[in-house]
Amino acid sequence: MEDGDSAEAFRAFAAGVALQREDPSLLWVQLKNRIEHAILDGTLPENARLPSEQAMCNMFDLSRPVIRNALQALAGEGRVIKQPRKGMFVAPRAPELAFMTSALGVFDDLSAKGYKVTVKTYEFGLHPANEDERRVFKLPDGFQVIRALRVYHANETPLTHTLISLPAHRLPGFEKLDMEGRSIFGTIRELYGLTVARADRWLKGAIVPSEVAARMGVPPGGAMIAIESVAYDHDGNALEYYRAYYNSEVAPIHVATDAH
């Protein structure tokens, strides 16, 4: 957005802002909320340049610390970004991702949404099924699973760190394939004729383990969304079990509901 257009858009926004000095809410909180609302409703569009702190002081008749606190809070929430020697700008919105309501695998779902998907595989092979895998796949003792430990990148940014388990007896020879950069579900459909009909997923917040943080390129000790998922074929048999860490800072999860 051109600087002249940005300045005009902000002046028009500022003209309609009336902060309540008698309100128990702090002035900087009021201003932060008004700017945030203008960003979310498009009044202040993506990449619009914000006026300088001094210009905002004059527009709103506020002190510099009040303006600075509001901008710092907006920056901390990712609403605005500071570009060295250029100024403060409205941050581009992260693309929303609705794959949580889809039964597709991560690779297929991201591809269907138009993302450029790349995969780095850290592990792929046969393993004795553990207790959780035996429970999900209803396996007797001694059965094996195929495990794939992968990091999925959306548009070259790490998005999910995923441990996938598959019932080996239903996919003979699958562990011998070169799966680097390939869709697991796509290959299963092609070679074995098995497709997913539905999936159950559970989400919770979790602290990211250090090895996961290193593979995802994020600081250790941070939080991500932990996902557990079981996908079923058309006969109701579990076909895939995965546990993942999802970085919602890259693409927020969007779940739509209706009134029915």
SS (H, E, C) 164-194: EEEEHHHCCCHHHCCCCCCCHHHHHHHHHCC
d(CA 242, CA 209): 17
Q: Which of 58, 90, 122 lies at the terminal end of a domain, its last residue?
A: 90
Question: To 10 degrees, what angle do helices 3-15 and 53-60 make?
Answer: 30
pLDDT band at 7 (very low <50, low <70, confident <90, very high): confident
Q: Are residues 122 and 10 in the same domain?
A: no
Q: What is the pLDDT of residues 111-125, one digit of tens each?
A: 666 667 788 999 999
Contacts made by residues 9-12, CB under 8 angstroms, sequence distance 24+: 9/43, 9/44, 9/45, 9/48, 10/44, 10/48, 10/50, 10/51, 11/59, 12/43
Quick one: 133 and 241 in the same domain?
A: yes
Q: Is residue 234 part of a domain?
A: yes
Pair 63, 147 in one domain: no
Counting beta carbons within 10 angstroms of the beta carbon of residue 173, is it exposed (0 to 12), middle (13 to 18) or buried (19 or more)?
exposed
Of residues 6 and 232, the one with the higher pLDDT is: 232
**Residue 203 pLDDT:** 92
Q: Tell me, yes or no, whether 110 and 84 share the same domain.
A: no
pLDDT, tens only, 188-201: 888 888 888 888 98
> 1-15, 48-62, 70-84, 95-109: lowest mean pLDDT where?
95-109
User: Given pLDDT bands bounded at 50, 70 and 90, which one contains residue 250?
Assistant: confident
One-letter identity of residue 234: H
Instruction: List pLDDT tens digits, range 231-245.
Output: 998 888 999 999 999
Is residue 257 in some structural domain?
no
DSSP state of 101: G
Q: Among 59, 90, 121, give the residue marking a domain's end.
A: 90
- pLDDT of 196 reads 84
Residue finishing a domain among 65, 90, 115: 90
| HSE of 60, CA atoms in CB hemisphere, 13 A | 29
Give the pLDDT score at 206: 93
**Residue 75: is its pLDDT beyond 90?**
no
**129 and 181 fall within a common domain:** yes
258 in a domain, yes or no? no
The CB density around residue 51, as the number of other CB atoms within 10 Å, is: 18
Number of residues that this document lists for the chain: 260
Query: Is 195 a domain residue?
Result: yes
In a domain, 35, yes or no: yes
Residue 29 host element (H or E)? helix 27-40
Lowest mean pLDDT among 10-14, 106-110, 256-260: 256-260
pLDDT of amino acid 100: 46
**Does residue 71 sit in the same domain as residue 127?**
no
Structural domain count of the chain: 2
Range of the domain at 138: 106-246
Query: Are 21 and 111 members of one domain?
Result: no
CATH of the domain at 4: 1.10.10.10
Confidence of residue 101 (pLDDT cuts 50, 70, 90): very low
CATH code of the domain covering residue 234: 3.40.1410.10
